[in-house]
Amino acid sequence: MTDEPNDSGVAAEPVATPGPTLDESAPAVMVMRMIQKMIIEARKDPQHKANAENAMRVLVDVQRALAANRADPGAVQWLRQLALTWNTRLRNQGLKFRRLFDLLDQAGSRSPGR
């Protein structure tokens, strides 16, 4: 990355290098995506907006951890806590959360090498 001007006299823009990719088939990553969708939807409700913004910041850290290790125990614990919290906030969506908790149980039982 350089801020030196190029031949046209305009400073060159930094090149973004892609970070590690997520294994979308990993249970923890699937849970993260499901929670992310629910929270994005909850942001539209003024009652949940502030909590949703905080949860989205947590998901950024969780995503970073899952990119490094698809079964990171700390990330799985954060996802479980988010799921429990949003299960309480978003009533009448029990089936969605049952699926989330099943996937979290799978993610928690896997060793990092698998």
Helix (H, G, I), strand (E, B) or coil at 38: helix
Q: What is the mean pLDDT of residues 90-97?
A: 74
Instruction: Report pTM.
Output: 0.71
DSSP tally for the chain: helices H, then strands E: 4, 0
pLDDT, tens digit (0-9, with 9 covering 90-100), for 41-64: 989 999 999 999 999 999 999 999
Confidence of residue 21 (pLDDT cuts 50, 70, 90): confident
- What is the DSSP track for 44-87? TSTTTHHHHHHHHHHHHHHHHHHHH-TT-HHHHHHHHHHHHHHH
Whether residue 77 has pLDDT greater than 90: yes
Q: What is the pLDDT of residue 51?
A: 92
Enumerate residues 6+ apart whose C-beta is below 8 A from 52: 39, 40, 42, 43
The DSSP call for residue 113 is T
Q: What is the pLDDT of residue 1?
A: 44
Q: Rounded to an integer, what is the distance from CA 19 to the centroid of its chain?
A: 14
Q: What is the pLDDT of residue 88?
A: 87
Enumerate residues 6+ apart whose C-beta is below 8 A from 60: none
Q: What is the pLDDT of residue 89?
A: 86
Task: Tell which residue, 45, 46, 64, 56, has the closest CA to residue 82.
Answer: 56
Confidence of residue 7 (pLDDT cuts 50, 70, 90): low
pLDDT, tens digit (0-9, with 9 covering 90-100), for 25-34: 889 999 999 9
